[in-house]
Chains A and B, each alone.
Chain A
Amino acid sequence: MNQFKADLHMHTVLSPCGSLEMNPSVIVDEALKQGLDIIGITDHNTTKQCKVVFELGKEKGLVVICGAEVTTKEEVHCLTFFENFEKLEKFESYLDNYLPDVPNDTEMFGHQVWVNREEEIVGEESRLLISGIDQSIEEVEAKVRSLGGLFIPAHVDKGRFSLYSQLGFMPFDLKPDAIGLSANVKDEFLANHKELENYTLLRSSDAHQPDLIGSHYSIFEMEHRTFEEIRMALHQTNGRRVCRTV
C-alpha cells in the first residue's frame, strides 16, 4: 500500500469568501509545494471552477477530486465529490436549480467569478453562493448517492454551519461516507461524540487563501489515487484506510 497526503476541503476564487489569489494554477502549485498528492475542490454550492483545476493538476501530477461544499436548507455544510464530469455536471444543475435567487452583494462578498487557466474571468455567478439551497440534508445526501458520489458533513465540531450546531445530533438515517473535522477540533469534542468512532474522520485546511493549503490534511493508505480507492479508504475496506490526520 502507498500513503498519499490529501487535503480535501478548499475554496477557489469563485467562493465569495475565497481570496482572489485562489486561481487554479496557484492552487495546484501551492498544493504540490506542500507535498500534497490529492486535493478536493469544494466551493460553496458550485462546481464551476473544478474542471480547470483538475486539468492543471493532471498535467502536473496532482490528483484533484471535484465537488462542492453544499449548504443545506438547515445551513449544514456538507462536502460532496463526484467521480467524473458527467456526474459533476448533473450535480451542478441540481445546485443551480435549488440555489435561492438572493443576489450577491459584491461590496460585501466580492465578485463570484470563475477563471480559465490563464486566470482570465470566464463567468460570474450573480446569486449569493453561500445561501442555503432549498433542499434538506437528507435530500442532498440522496442526490449525491444517486450519482454515486461521496457525502461528508464538513467541520462538524464548529459552532456554526455544522451538523451538530444546526441539528443537535447526527440524524438517525444519515449515512455519511466520512466526517469532516475543523482545523481546530478539540479532543473534548471527540470525547463527547463517541458515535463518531464509527466513521473515518478527515481533517483538511478549508483554505480560502493560498498559504493555508495543506495546513491540515489526512494521510490515505491505498494502492492508487483513484475515486474508488478513496471511497474504499473512507469505508476502511480492502485494506485501504485513512491512517493519520494532521
Chain B
Amino acid sequence: MKVSDIVKLLKLKVIGGEEGLDNEVCGGYTSDLLSDVMGNADEGQVWITLQTHRNVMAVASLKEVAAVIIVKGLEAEENTINQSNDEGIPLLSTDLEAFELSGQLYKILNP
C-alpha cells in the first residue's frame, strides 16, 4: 500500500512532501516523544504524532518513515512544512485523535 492510498482511505490532508506520496507503507508507529521514535520506529512506517516541531521531519528523515500524520487538526510550523518538502517525506494532517487514527490505520494495514 502506498501513502497516497492511505491519504484517500483516511481522508487526510497533504500539507507537505507530496513527492513522497508513492512511498510504500509497511506499518505504523504512534508516539509523541521524538527520542522514542528515534529508538523504535522502523523504515517505511507511518508515524502518527501531535508534535508539530521542525525536529519531527528531521527524525522522520533519519528513520526513513513513509509519512508523518499530525493529529487533532494541529497546525505544523512553517519550517516543519518546509523541511517536509525538502526531504520529500509527506506531512499529512487529520482532525482525528491519535487513538482513532491509529485504529483506522491498523485496520487498513491488517485487513
Contact = CB atoms under 8 A, between A and B. Distances in A.
Contacts of A160: 33
B34 A166 contact: yes
Given A168-B58, A168-B59, A169-B58, A136 B35 contact: no
B55 A136 contact: no
A65 B58 CA distance: 36
Contacts of A6: none
Contacts of B35: 159, 164-168
B55 A167 contact: yes
B33 A166 contact: yes
Interface in A146-199: 159-160, 164-169, 171-172
A167 B77 contact: no
A74 B53 CA distance: 8
Nearest to A171: B55
B77 A136 contact: yes
Contacts, number: 38
Interface residues of B, number: 15
A61 B32 CA distance: 45
A137 B53 contact: yes
Nearest to A170: B55
B38 interface: yes
In this complex, the interface size class of chain A, counting residues with CB under 8 Å from chain B, is: 10 to 19
A166 B35 CA distance: 6
A136 B54 CA distance: 10
Nearest to A74: B53
B19 to A, nearest CB: 23
B77 A169 contact: no
B55 A168 contact: yes
Interface in A63-114: 73-74
A74 B32 CA distance: 9
A168 B77 contact: no
Interface string B12-35: 000000000000000000001111
B81 to A, nearest CB: 14
Nearest to B39: A168
B53 A136 contact: yes
B6 interface: no
Nearest to B36: A165
B51 interface: yes
A36 to B, nearest CB: 32
B101 interface: no
B37 interface: yes
A123 B47 CA distance: 44
B54 A74 contact: no
Interface in A20-43: none
Interface of A: 73-74, 136-137, 159-160, 164-169, 171-172
Interface of B: 32-38, 51-55, 58-59, 77
